[in-house]
Amino acid sequence: MGRTGTMFGFQRYDFTPDIMTLAKGLGGGIPIAAIVANEKASVFEPGDHGTTFGGQPFATAVALAVAQTLVDEGLPQQAAEKGDRLQRRLLALEDTHPEVEGVRGQGLLVAVSFKGDIAADVAAAARDLGLLCNNVRPNAIRLMPPLTVSDDEIDRAVDILGEALKTVGNA
């Protein structure tokens, strides 16, 4: 929710899904999940679906607070703007690190692709320098900073990634 620069990822495209699931982003760390369906796909009747966390007032109150905070603070729009900054900074790494092949993503969900299978080494070097990222493919890492990330934190993360690339390149 909000991470791609819109409240929901589908809003970046010219369609509306019949059914959408929500979970981690909805609960802000509290376990909750939801299914949202339009009228034609709404087939559940009360009692049709059992759930471990169903009817839990605390989690539901948290989900409402999370959604309200996303809207009130404009976090999806901020994610779009901060994601643009992150991608611009990451693209600049191509100039100084020839192993960087490209950058892709939306909002604050971004991947960096490499020309070789160095993602695990880059992720380990970045972790040793204080930056957490995932090696989601042998040749790609993913960055998913929090929606509340600052410009300074984005700049620091890219600087650390640059240092990690130097470390891997010199190994």
Distances (CA, A) of 138 to 34, 42, 131, 158: 33, 40, 18, 20
Q: Where are the domains of the chain?
A: 9-73, 76-169
CB 131 within 8 A of CB 160: yes
pTM (two decimals)? 0.86
pLDDT digit string, tens, across residues 82-138: 999 999 999 999 999 999 999 999 999 999 999 999 999 999 999 999 999 999 999
Does residue 171 have a pLDDT over 60?
A: no
Neighbours of 162 (CB within 10 A): 19
**In terms of CATH architecture, what is 76-169?**
Alpha-Beta Complex (3.90)
Distance of CA 57 to the CA centre of its chain: 27
